[in-house]
Structure 1
Amino acid sequence: MLNKDRYDRQIKLRGFGIEAQQKLLSARVLVIGAGGLGCPVLQYLTASGIGTIGIVDHDVVSISNLQRQVLYTTEDIGQLKTEVASKRLRLMNPDIFINIISEQITSKNAVKIINEYDLVLDCSDNFPTRYLIDDSCRIMKKTLIFGAIYQYEGQIAVFNIPNKEGVTTSYRNLFPQPPKPNEVPDCNEAGVLGVLPGIIGTLQATEAIKIITGIGKPLANKLMSIDLLDYQTAIYDIPIEIESNSNFPSTIDEFELMNYEEHCGINNHNVKIISSSEFLESAKIPDTLIIDVRELDEFPKIDLPYLSIPLSQLNEKIFEIQHKNIIVICQSGKRSLMGAQLLQENLSSEYQISSLEGGINHLKNLKNE
């Protein structure tokens, strides 16, 4: 039943009214990622009265999230984001239904998850997930609202809405092929201004409301970018054609066979991934070498003996390494995995090589200067 008092200020809007509010209440919206983008998206969709909201995320709250993921508090550290978010959102608006999926979205479960919803918002933070979401939504003809952030800049676009000629665009029309793993660092590596995901996420929520209610003109087949340092904003037409040599799935069967880690150049080649507790135990073993593949000026530093070799220099220094037990670390685990792969490909099998899962972001007892 529609609570007119709760949505009074929206209902009073010219061109909105009860009919638009009823459309929101009937809508089923899936939000993939409950991090920097997902937090404002979830808060505003909940407040606006979206009837059913699905939340997909398998991560837990960490202290480094709190600078921008304003749905969480210090007390939530270590808890699943989906569970914390659902509790807070239900307090905000008990009139709606919230469904949590506390698992990583993959090519094996994506179709089943996405099929239950009318509209999908990509609030993810990595390329394998981004291409996975895009391919599944394109094949299933689900409208997709995309958002991305980098340092001080953000982007938003709407995919899979036909233009006057019936043509649709997807993320692959913008970027047919993924960048190489070390070409575009994520916010764990490059940093991000805390307010930026709040702005982009709010715009994603705005597009969702526009599409569901039919008000205004969504960013269909267009990409909007904004730079917070000078407020330069631009809107670009998304190219209709996709490069002919692009390799991507066109059917559900092809999609479910895709390995998106490999597609994006991320393949661990059976590199051993160790947890924070395993790392601290392994660091005590004699003849263990910890290699930090971040740049020399990156902080915080670990409070253990280590060797600093930036990833860009690792290849030329491989054969200087004598230790047989090697642990590679970085900020978030991304560069360390690439470094461990490089070592494994070039050193003999007698070397024991591992990568720290989640990077030093998941470690305690760090030096900040």
Structure 2
Amino acid sequence: MEQQDRYGRHFRLPGFTNKTQLDLLSKKVVVVGAGGLGIPVLQYLAGAGVGEITIIDNDLISLSNLHRQVIYGEKDIDRLKVEVAKEFLNRLNSDVKVITKGERLTQKSFNALIPENPDVIIDASDNFDTRYLIDDFCSEWDIPLVYGALHRFEGQLAVFHHQNEISYRDLYPIAPEEGTVDNCEVNGVLGPVAGAIGCMMAIESIKLLTGLGKVLDGELLVMQFDDLSMIKMKIEKGSNLLNDVRNEAIPEITKNELVKKLNSGKEYLLIDIRDPKEYKTLNIESSINIPIEELYSKASNFPANIPVIVICEVGKSSLDQIRMLKRNKINSNLINLKGGINEWFNKKSP
């Protein structure tokens, strides 16, 4: 009777039977990361009655975590996240067995930290090394992997190693160079963005565990929460989506070529995708600042009859963004400024 009361709203869903709930109570999941993404995943998987949840995270709670990691409080600062998370989940649902591993997931520690035969692994980590470790493990053992990531107002979601056998390495076969991708500490993140993507990760996990609904299989969902726009991109096996995009031929223009064309009266739209603070400090006259996180939602509105020059600091991020936009047929009239702002103002790259 208690389970009927606890999970009663589940049973009103089409296809969600008592057997479905019992199956869910027998499942094992691993959540790597008990931060902004991991917290909502843990809350909703425990609330849904997933039988065994292993949490892996070696971080201590800090004051800066609290705006997005909302099961922690001020009194929990300097405690292990996994310990506080376990206490919360135990209070939430006594049906769920919670296992904690307060260590960093590495190549050496992997086998000791991951339990045998998990049904789903959820990657709520925040670094590429960990993501590749998890992806390779799931690939070897054929375990579905739910992936989420954050960047300012943007969230990403995907499911790997399901029916389409797509992997994280099809998205990122090679890790970005060190220093080219910042984390939330550097870029910032809006707390509810982490909550929203984490909830979506929990939904995909429950669909995988129950067989209900259509799983986001072989696709990357990119959400822009500043304007609630969304892009869904198909990932092909072996296509190396984000790095294949990098290898496409993209038209580029040098500083000298652009100066000549502008002086000749030819019309161009100059779009600077750097951070607004960087743009305000130094920019090309007549350029417009559209930060990188807003580019996807606004690129479709660029005029079709005017060449659009995309500008970043050194010409690399702009190149990647143009390739992604072209691949998704959002705009085909884009040109990269070779060398970016640094080349334009004769600055040395850092």
TM-score of the two chains, using structure 1 as the length reference: 0.64
What secondary structure is seen at the aligned counterpart in 2 of 1:5? helix
Amino acid at match of 1:186: N
Identity over aligned residues, as a percent? 44
CA distance in 1, matches of 2:112, 2:86: 21
The yes-or-no answer on 1:216 pairing with 2:216 is no
Q: Which residue of structure 1 lines up, in the alignment, with residue 193 of structure 2?
A: 196
Show CA shifts across 1:143-173 (max 9, x none).
100000000000000000123xxxx111100
CA distance in 1, matches of 2:232, 2:218: 10
Q: Which residue of structure 2 lines up, in the alignment, with residue 119 of structure 1?
A: 120
Q: Which residue of structure 2 lines up, in the alignment, with residue 81 of structure 1?
A: 81
Amino acid at match of 1:27: K
CA distance in 2, matches of 1:2, 1:38: 28
Alignment of 1:229-244 (within 5 A): 229-242=226-239
C-alpha contact (below 8 Å) 1:37/1:197 kept by paired residues:
yes
Task: Report the CA distance shift for 1:115/1:242 in structure 2 as closer, same or farther (over 3 A).
Answer: farther
Aligned-pair CA distance for 1:238: 0.8
Aligned-pair CA distance for 1:14: 1.6
CA distance in 2, matches of 1:102, 1:118: 21
CA distance in 2, matches of 1:48, 1:201: 14
Q: Which residue of structure 1 lines up, in the alignment, with residue 65 of structure 2?
A: 65
Point out where structure 1 has 5 or more consecutive residues left out of the alignment.
247-294, 299-311, 313-369
Equivalenced residues, count? 244
Aligned-pair CA distance for 1:2: 7.4
Aligned-pair CA distance for 1:222: 1.0
What secondary structure is seen at the aligned counterpart in 1 of 2:176? coil
Point out where structure 2 has 5 or more consecutive residues left out of the alignment.
244-274, 279-312, 314-350
TM-score of the two chains, using structure 2 as the length reference: 0.67
Q: Which residue of structure 1 lines up, in the alignment, with residue 46 of structure 2?
A: 46
Alignment of 1:163-202 (within 5 A): 163=164, 168-202=165-199
Aligned-pair CA distance for 1:115: 4.5
CA distance in 2, matches of 1:73, 1:115: 29
Show CA shifts across 1:231-284 (max 9, x none).
1112111121156xx9xxxxxxxxxxxxxxxxxxxxxxxxxxxxxxxxxxxxxx
CA distance in 2, matches of 1:238, 1:114: 27
Q: Which residue of structure 1 lines up, in the alignment, with residue 204 of structure 2?
A: 207
Q: Which residue of structure 1 lines up, in the alignment, with residue 5 of structure 2?
A: 5
Aligned-pair CA distance for 1:114: 2.9
CA distance in 2, matches of 1:176, 1:242: 10
The yes-or-no answer on 1:148 pairing with 2:145 is no
Q: Which residue of structure 1 lines up, in the alignment, with residue 55 of structure 2?
A: 55
C-alpha contact (below 8 Å) 1:176/1:242 kept by paired residues:
no
Alignment of 1:1-369 (within 5 A): 3-116=3-116, 117-163=118-164, 168-242=165-239
CA distance in 2, matches of 1:193, 1:20: 35
What secondary structure is seen at the aligned counterpart in 1 of 2:191? coil
CA distance in 1, matches of 2:127, 2:149: 9
Q: CA RMSD in A?
A: 2.0
What secondary structure is seen at the aligned counterpart in 2 of 1:195? helix
C-alpha contact (below 8 Å) 1:39/1:201 kept by paired residues:
yes
